[in-house]
Amino acid sequence: MKHQIALLGSTGSIGRQTLDIMRLHPDKFEAVTLTSNNNWEMLAAQAAEFLPDSVVIANKEHYKALSDALAALPIKVYAGEEALCQIVGNGNIDTVINALVGYAGLEPTLCAINAGKKVALANKETLVVAGDIVMKAAMDKRIPIIPIDSEHSAIFQCLAGEASAPSRLILTASGGPFLNMPAEEIENASVEQALAHPHWDMGRKITIDSATMLNKGLEVIEARWLFNMPPQHIDVAIHPQCVVHSMVEFADGTLKAQLGSADMRLPIQYALSFPERLPLPYPRFDITTAGSLTFSAPDTVRFPALRIAYEALEKGGNSCCILNAANEIAVAAFLERRIGFGDIRRTLEHTLERSTFIQRPTMDDYRASNAEARGIAERFVNAKH
Ligand code: MG
């Protein structure tokens, strides 16, 4: 039987690469629902190709344009963020792929878990904001959460078949476009420089996160919840070649790593085919011509966002929710050229200092904290220009 898939965020980078995988294996995967935030034109084209039962456009302004474009096809069209939550509960769906960007991905993940659907998770903010609540809900409902993020997929693959829990996780990081740049130049880096990632083809938000290295910080937080590993047992290693996608260490000192070319379609496909592996007809990493692979400790002086993320994780409570909210505001403001690159870090620190700390947040606390932190970050950013 084919896997019946709801793909949330089908027009983004991960969404489009997920459709590549579905094109390769039409006998295995079927799209039941496709969704987009704003890009109704691409969503209409995808719907015409994949003929899902339904589509959702989160921005209601585009509902009419999308409905008109699909009028001749037997596809239901819905609009609004709240429709995402309703649609993932659809009885036909067995797997929800969450490729949304940012906080917006959290509620649909919870809805999918509560509806008993398997979740393939590319939206790391789901676990950064409310990892404790999300993992507990998944545990209670016995819902597997399969990571799509390449580092977490690597760890997940290293753990497959192991009876023992790992003693340490080592997330690899490319170091981003500013790996060898002096601190003063990083401080004043342009949007173009920050968007020029040397290895991975990703969306704009995550590419900026990669340049500040907060992306790796968010991934440490994600790993903490996904693999139930205390933060002091999660390390980051700079590995500019992007061949080793992450590693695990076991009690006997054995290190296991997952290697491959830097292509997100591999972790996407594994998340869908797990526990099986399917063929993937893309260029292979050739170890005989690879040259050297290097690993080193990250520089948290030039990349303070990584340190800030560890501190937020250690402090616990709603700190990571605050951190994420501040970062979403700061990255958007940087992309709109309203603040400088170095101001992203300042926004994180300012917002973490000013926001209300809650030791044991409920889901409503997280929602309120997200709103409060966004307000604080927004005011800070506006005062900058
Ligand atoms: Mg990643």
What's the pLDDT band for 159 if we cut at 50, 70, 90? very high
Q: What is the tally of helices (H) and strands (E) in the chain?
A: 16, 11
Instruction: Report the distance separating Cα 225 and Cα 109, nearest Å.
Output: 14
How far, in Å, is the centroid of ligand 1 from the Cα of 151? 5
How far, in Å, is the centroid of ligand 1 from the Cα of 261? 14
Query: Which ranges constitute the DSSP H helices of the chain?
Result: 13-24, 40-50, 63-69, 81-88, 106-114, 125-141, 150-159, 183-187, 191-195, 204-212, 214-226, 265-273, 304-315, 319-335, 341-354, 363-382
Instruction: Report the distance separating Cα 103 and Cα 366, nearest Å.
Output: 11
Whether residue 384 is predicted with pLDDT greater than 90 in this model: the reply is no
H or E segment and range at residue 249: strand 244-249
Q: Average the pLDDT over 88-94 and give the result.
A: 92
Burial class of residue 17 in the structure, from the number of CB atoms within 10 Å of its CB (0-12 exposed, 13-18 middle, 19+ buried) = buried
What's the pLDDT band for 78 if we cut at 50, 70, 90? very high
How far, in Å, is the centroid of ligand 1 from the Cα of 78? 31
Mean pLDDT estimate for the chain: 96
How far, in Å, is the centroid of ligand 1 from the Cα of 115? 27
Instruction: Report the distance separating Cα 112 and Cα 187, nearest Å.
Output: 40
Nearest to 172 by CA among 314, 13, 304, 294: 294
What's the pLDDT band for 373 if we cut at 50, 70, 90? very high
Whether residue 201 is predicted with pLDDT greater than 80 in this model: the reply is no
Residue 209 burial (CB count, 10 A)? 25
Whether residue 202 is predicted with pLDDT greater than 80 in this model: the reply is no
How far, in Å, is the centroid of ligand 1 from the Cα of 306? 14
Whether residue 199 is predicted with pLDDT greater than 80 in this model: the reply is no
Q: Average the pLDDT over 166-179 and give the result.
A: 96
| Residue pLDDT, tens place only, 266-287 | 999 999 999 999 999 999 999 9
Structural domains in the chain, CATH included, are 3-147 (3.40.50.720), 150-263+284-299 (no CATH), 316-385 (1.10.1740.10)
What's the pLDDT band for 91 if we cut at 50, 70, 90? confident
Whether residue 197 is predicted with pLDDT greater than 80 in this model: the reply is no
Phi and psi for 316 in degrees, rounded to 5? Answer: 75, -150
| Residue pLDDT, tens place only, 111-129 | 999 999 999 999 999 999 9
Contact 49, 75 (CB under 8 A): no
